[in-house]
Chain A
Amino acid sequence: EAQVTQNPRYLITVTGKKLTVTCSQNMNHEYMSWYRQDPGLGLRQIYYSMNVEVTDKGDVPEGYKVSRKEKRNFPLILESPSPNQTSLYFCASSFGLAGGYNEQFFGPGTRLTVL
Chain B
Amino acid sequence: KQEVTQIPAALSVPEGENLVLNCSFTDSAIYNLQWFRQDPGKGLTSLLLIQSSQREQTSGRLNASLDKSSGRSTLYIAASQPGDSATYLCAVNADYKLSFGAGTTVTVRA
Q: Which chain A residues have a beta carbon within 8 Å of chain B's beta carbons?
A: 33, 35, 42-45, 48, 50, 56, 58-59, 88, 90, 92, 97-100, 102-109, 111
- State whether B97 touches A100 (Cβ < 8 A): no
The total of Cβ contacts below 8 Å across the A-B interface reads 56
Knowing A58-B97, A100-B51, the reply to whether A106 touches B46 (Cβ < 8 A) is yes
A58 to B96, alpha carbons, bound, how many Å?
A: 8
Q: Is the interface of A mostly helix, strand, loop or mixed?
A: strand
- State whether B96 touches A97 (Cβ < 8 A): yes
Mark the stretch among B12-20, B63-71, B73-81, B99-107 that contacts chain A.
Answer: B99-107
Partner of A103, one of B34, B41, B89, B103: B34
- State whether B96 touches A56 (Cβ < 8 A): yes
- State whether A109 touches B89 (Cβ < 8 A): no
- State whether B44 touches A106 (Cβ < 8 A): yes
Q: How far is the CB of B86 from chain A (nearest CB, A)?
A: 15
A105 to B31, alpha carbons, bound, how many Å?
A: 15
Knowing A45-B97, A48-B96, the reply to whether A108 touches B43 (Cβ < 8 A) is yes
Partner of B97, one of A33, A103, A107, A109: A33
